[in-house]
């Protein structure tokens, strides 16, 4: 039935013949079986096709986390569509760009945003807009529930697009990373084997499902292994700690672990059932690694990935897990540290451009052939923009970011996007946005601003101007006014100097 739909065929293999097996336990203590999961995905797929979705049409989704949103992900691909999830914090102004760039056929949003987003969708030629709230209610499921199960998957090959994930660019314009079925399945299969997942595992899922970590890693691995999720709408320290009595794996960002370490009940007894803790999406401090091991007896596996490639490296399951590194290249994934100009691999100990090649690497950026050509070399290596160094032991350390990226709480933030908005505010002459160390979120945003000579502009004015234009996670935590920005002899702003000056804020 699913043989002609590559991705769904792969994801469903582990559950065939075991439809009554539990896929997820929800916050209200109810369970969703594998049979129910795919049955509802079939209904959604049927409904999308009846509403005009054709193969390769984009389905743009900005909804709160729910099991129905997971079914929508599966249903979209079953219907031959391209799933395009968006961060729930994006403002209508930001979403307007995504709609105009991706030209989706279908838009699904939270009911509270319908009045704002539907006119934008209609203006861009969206065929139909549906709603879906966190409880799983809305016009999407109302329409899907009128369908019958048994929808036959639209034929798709491994090289057909399955998803587009938008990742901001240094120019301020977001880029849509195009991911095929092979990109997703090859990586999830590798991670399942590398981290030794099987159908006995129970994964605590408190991550968002609009990015690679929470969706393509956590969900896809669970489906491939035929294992179970404890599925939470958000992260709550006490709930997660309680889950550890019946779970075996936690995937999180460094913030999860920092907050758990501050909880009195975390110890070797409370984590005795757990076999694996994974961290990613942002760098973890070595201090956090050390404290976690001392308190629980477990060593966290830190890995390295990005929207364009899924996961690239991981500290080993069996073997030394080195704090301060992102581990070893995953099987079937080539990772090199290269000379930025020539792409020639460098020796261990030499800092250079981290570059990736393998079946996990995306095919390019949506509607951006020039940008794709700039960032994927002729030999197939993707230039990540990260700076790294291999140790003599083969472990990779990420030491900087050539693209000026800031990662806060696992979210990518590109300073140029903020600088363009800040410089446009009346009374601002120029600005430089930087990331500063933050124990909880990894990094926090600070905006260093030079006023116009005649201006008396205040912090509150800047904060107010940005509030409606940027998602909350992108908004600066600090506004710093200076007489001038430090520059080198070529006139380039020296952000390293600014980071050093204000590192203790």
Report whether pLDDT(232) > 90: yes
Q: Are strands 382-390 and 202-205 parallel, antiparallel or unpaired?
A: unpaired
Residues 6+ apart with CB under 8 A from 437: 443, 444, 503
C-alpha 487: how far from chain center: 34
- Contact (CB, 8 A) for 366 and 101: yes
Report whether pLDDT(403) > 70: no
Higher pLDDT, 42 or 414: 42
Neighbours of 382 (CB within 10 A): 23
DSSP per-residue codes, 373-395: HHHB-TTS-EEEEEEEEE-TTS-
Whole-angstrom distance, CA of residue 94 vs CA of residue 86: 10
Q: Stretch 446-454: mean pLDDT, rounded?
A: 89
Report whether pLDDT(489) > 80: no
pLDDT at 488: 66
pLDDT at 411: 85
Collapsing DSSP states into helix, strand and coil, what is residue 465?
helix
Identical fold, 6-23+33-156 and 406-501: no
pLDDT at 2: 45
Average pLDDT, the chain: 92
What are 5-61's pLDDT values in tens digits?
A: 999 899 988 777 677 899 999 999 999 999 999 999 999 999 999 999 999 999 999
Nearest to 170 by CA among 385, 7, 411: 385
pLDDT at 171: 45
Fold category of 6-23+33-156 in CATH = Rossmann fold (3.40.50)
Q: Stretch 206-211: mean pLDDT, rounded?
A: 93
pLDDT at 99: 95
What are 151-198's pLDDT values in tens digits?
A: 999 999 999 999 999 986 444 578 999 999 999 999 999 999 999 999
* Residue extents of the structural domains in the chain: 6-23+33-156, 406-501
What are 73-122's pLDDT values in tens digits?
A: 999 999 999 999 999 988 888 899 999 999 999 999 999 999 999 999 99
H/E stretch holding 192 reads helix 181-194
Fold category of 406-501 in CATH = GMP Synthetase; Chain A, domain 3 (3.30.300)
Whole-angstrom distance, CA of residue 398 vs CA of residue 387: 6
Q: Is the dihedral of CA 61, 64, 68, 70 positive or negative?
A: positive
Whole-angstrom distance, CA of residue 66 vs CA of residue 132: 9
| Percentage, residues of the chain above pLDDT 70 | 97
Q: Stretch 238-249: mean pLDDT, rounded?
A: 97
Beta bridge partners of 389: 397
Q: How many residues does the chain have?
A: 505
Report whether pLDDT(400) > 80: no
Local confidence band at 479 (pLDDT 50, 70, 90 cut-offs):
very high
What are 292-317's pLDDT values in tens digits?
A: 999 999 999 999 999 999 999 999 99
pLDDT at 286: 84
Neighbours of 27 (CB within 10 A): 15
CA distances from 60 to 234, 279, 427, 461 (A): 22, 28, 37, 33
pTM for the predicted model, two decimal places? 0.85
């Amino acid at each position: 039935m699913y043989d002609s739909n590559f991705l769904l065929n792969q994801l469903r293999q582990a559950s065939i013949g075991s439809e009554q097996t539990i896929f997820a336990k929800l916050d209200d203590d109810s369970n969703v079986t594998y049979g129910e999961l795919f049955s509802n995905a079939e209904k959604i797929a049927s409904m999308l096709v009846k509403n005009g979705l054709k193969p390769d049409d984009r389905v743009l989704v900005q909804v709160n986390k729910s099991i129905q949103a997971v079914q929508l992900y599966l249903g979209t691909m079953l219907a031959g569509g391209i799933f395009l999830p968006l961060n729930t914090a994006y403002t209508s102004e930001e979403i307007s760009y995504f709609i105009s760039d991706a030209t989706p056929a279908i838009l699904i949003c939270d009911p509270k945003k319908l009045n704002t987003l539907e006119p934008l969708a209609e203006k861009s030629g969206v065929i139909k807009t549906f709603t879906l709230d966190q409880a799983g209610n809305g016009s999407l499921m109302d329409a899907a529930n009128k369908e019958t199960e048994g929808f036959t998957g639209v034929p798709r090959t491994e090289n057909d697009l399955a998803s587009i994930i938008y990742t901001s660019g240094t120019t301020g314009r977001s880029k849509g990373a195009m991911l095929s079925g092979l990109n997703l399945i090859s990586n999830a299969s590798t991670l399942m084997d590398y981290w030794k997942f099987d159908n006995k595992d129970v994964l605590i899922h408190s991550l968002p499902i609009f990015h690679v970590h929470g969706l393509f890693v956590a969900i896809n691995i669970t489906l491939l292994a035929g294992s179970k999720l404890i599925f939470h709408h958000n992260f709550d320290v006490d709930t997660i700690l309680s889950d550890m009595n019946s779970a075996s794996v936690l995937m999180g960002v460094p913030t999860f672990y920092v907050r758990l370490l501050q909880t009195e009940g975390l110890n070797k007894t409370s984590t005795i059932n757990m076999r694996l803790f994974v961290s990613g999406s942002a760098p973890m401090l070595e201090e956090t690694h050390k404290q976690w091991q001392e308190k629980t007896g477990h060593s966290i596996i830190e890995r390295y990935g990005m929207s364009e490639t899924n996961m690239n490296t991981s500290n080993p399951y069996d073997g030394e897990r080195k704090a301060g590194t992102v581990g070893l290249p995953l099987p079937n994934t080539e990772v090199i540290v290269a000379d930025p100009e020539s792409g020639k691999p460098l020796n261990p100990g030499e800092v250079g451009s981290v570059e990736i090649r393998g079946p996990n690497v995306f095919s390019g950026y949506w509607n951006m052939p020039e940008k794709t050509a700039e960032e994927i070399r002729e030999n197939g290596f993707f230039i990540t923009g990260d700076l790294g160094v291999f140790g003599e032991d083969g472990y990779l350390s990420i030491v900087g970011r050539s693209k000026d990226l800031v990662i806060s709480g696992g979210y990518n933030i590109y300073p140029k996007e903020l600088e363009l908005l800040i410089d446009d505010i009346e009374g601002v002459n120029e600005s430089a946005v930087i990331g500063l160390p933050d124990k909880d979120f990894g990094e926090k945003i600070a905006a260093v601003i030079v006023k116009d000579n005649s201006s008396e502009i205040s912090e509150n004015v800047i904060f107010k101007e940005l509030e409606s234009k940027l998602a909350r996670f992108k908004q600066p935590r600090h506004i710093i006014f200076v007489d001038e920005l430090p520059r080198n002899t070529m006139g380039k702003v020296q952000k390293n100097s600014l980071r050093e000056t204000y590192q203790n804020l």
